[in-house]
Amino acid sequence: MRNDAVAWSDFDAGEYWKNNYASVLPEDAEIIQWASKFLIEACGQRSGLKKAVDVGAGSNLYPALLMLPWAEQIVFTEYASPNIRWLRENLADAPGEWHWQPFWDLVAALPCYRTVGQPRRRLAAVHEIRRLSIFDLPPCTWNLGSMFFVADGMTTDVAEFESAVRSFLGALMPGSPFIMAFMEGSSGYAVRGVRFPAVRVTPRSLEALLADLPVTGASVLRTDNSIRRVRPGYDAMLLVTGFVTG
């Protein structure tokens, strides 16, 4: 199933958040630890210098929070209307409980992150939401980027998956650090009874793809598959970090 055949209007963003991000799962905690370490080293101590993009954010805000200390702007690109509505509601600086506080708490004491006193308010102030397909991203536009569980979770076509990864990296300027996450060996996933496609990726297949892409310093990290998983139907989560070379 290719991406354009998927009924994205039937995607239940609230249910997806409930299933995956209502609490911090161990795999996400691992990824947050690795990604924050990479970004601290890659971006340094200076803040507010980068235009960031989170491609296909859906109902997951933690990739944007990971980039927050360095971002003067974070653009959320999304294609599915339910995800856009979810983002509009959940990126507002509203009163009451903030469901992403436990995610922020994992990095709050780290260098660079501890300079962000009010992350919810900061994220509300610097974000922009754009309805945009991953295949229509403008080239060479941002200098910091994230793409989590997007390219591998929208199609079963390997060529289309690889094209999506290339489009994401092509939207970043040379020298830009990036973080990407994938589900290893995914057989697809269901949200409130509706099935959605996935490409089966492995560390080896990602390494082969990265070797053919304009990136440097790339690494592939695999979560501990003995810890509790998000759902059935995949083997582990994979985090890819590196820099775009142009």
> Looking at residue 228, what is its pLDDT?
62
Q: Per-residue confidence at 80, pLDDT binned at 50, 70, 90? A: very high
Q: Per the structure block, which two tokens stand in for 92?
A: 């507002």
Percentage of the residues of the chain whose pLDDT score is greater than 90: 78
DSSP per position, 155-170: -S-HHHHHHHHHHHHH
As to burial, measured by CB atoms within 10 angstroms (0-12 exposed, 13-18 middle, 19+ buried), residue 29 is middle
> Looking at residue 189, what is its pLDDT?
85
Tens of pLDDT, residue by residue over 44-70, are: 876 667 899 999 999 999 999 999 999
3-244: CATH architecture: 3-Layer(aba) Sandwich (3.40)
Tens of pLDDT, residue by residue over 183-236, are: 999 988 888 888 888 899 999 999 999 999 999 999 999 998 656 666 777 889
> Looking at residue 225, what is its pLDDT?
65
Residue 222 CA to chain centroid, in angstroms? 16
User: If you average pLDDT over every residue of the chain, what do you get?
Assistant: 92
Q: What b-and-e string marks burial along 179-204, b requiring 16 or more CB atoms within 10 Å of the CB?
A: bbbbbbebebbebeeeebbbbbbbbe
pTM of the model: 0.94
Domain boundaries, the chain: 3-244
Q: How far apart are the C-alpha atoms of 214 and 196, rounded to whole Å? A: 30
In this predicted structure, the answer to whether residue 141 has a pLDDT above a threshold of 80 is yes
In this predicted structure, the answer to whether residue 130 has a pLDDT above a threshold of 60 is yes
Q: How far apart are the C-alpha atoms of 227 and 46, rounded to whole Å? A: 35
Over range 21-40, report the average pLDDT.
96
Residue closest to 104 by CA, chosen among 120, 126, 86: 120
Q: Per the structure block, which two tokens stand in for 19?
A: 């299933």
